[in-house]
């Protein structure tokens, strides 16, 4: 399982990549592996606002439904249609092709509360 060093992670298994003052958000390798074959994703629309720790969507695999929790607060500037049309991308490439949202951050300091790759790996080890 991979956890790129340049990303930040939440305890709800989302990742964040900072691009300027925009956060790119998706779910982690661990999350996609636990879910199994993802068949459906429900995401907010462009212009919607999301809040840290609150649900912004749903991901469904063959066997399970899971809420998506926003790791940051802000407004959605872009939604990845590729992942809505072809949710299997989440299993195949969770960090690059299967990004979900771009969010214009309300407060960049929120990122400091997220975990580093090492901290996240430690967290999932404990959770197992």
Nearest distance in Å: CB 18, other proteins: 31
Please, which residue, 33 or 113, has the CB nearer to other proteins? 33
d(CA 78, CA 26): 13
d(CA 92, CA 109): 31
Which one of residues 21, 37, 54, 119 is an interface residue with other proteins (CB under 8 A)?
37
- Tell me whether residue 107 is exposed, middle or buried, using C-beta atoms within 10 angstroms of its C-beta: 0 to 12, 13 to 18, 19 or more: exposed
Q: Is 40 one of the binding residues for other proteins (CB under 8 A)? A: yes
d(CA 32, CA 64): 11
Nearest distance in Å: CB 50, other proteins: 17
Q: Is 63 one of the binding residues for other proteins (CB under 8 A)? A: yes
- Tell me whether residue 31 is exposed, middle or buried, using C-beta atoms within 10 angstroms of its C-beta: 0 to 12, 13 to 18, 19 or more: buried
Q: Is 128 one of the binding residues for other proteins (CB under 8 A)? A: no
Q: Is 1 one of the binding residues for other proteins (CB under 8 A)? A: no
Q: Is 62 one of the binding residues for other proteins (CB under 8 A)? A: yes
Contact residues toward other proteins (CB under 8 A) are 36-37, 39-40, 42, 58, 60-63, 65, 91
């Amino acid at each position: 399982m991979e956890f790129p060093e340049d990303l930040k992670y939440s305890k709800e298994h989302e990742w964040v990549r900072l691009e300027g003052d925009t956060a790119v958000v998706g779910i982690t390798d661990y999350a996609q592996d636990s879910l199994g074959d993802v068949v459906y994703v429900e995401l907010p629309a462009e212009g919607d606002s999301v809040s840290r720790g609150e649900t912004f969507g749903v991901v469904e695999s063959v066997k399970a439904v899971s809420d998506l929790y926003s790791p940051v607060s802000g407004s959605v500037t872009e939604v990845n249609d590729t992942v809505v049309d072809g949710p299997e991308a989440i299993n195949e490439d969770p960090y690059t092709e299967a990004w979900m949202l771009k969010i214009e951050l309300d407060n960049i300091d929120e990122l400091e509360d997220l975990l580093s790759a090492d901290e996240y790996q430690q967290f999932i080890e404990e959770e197992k």
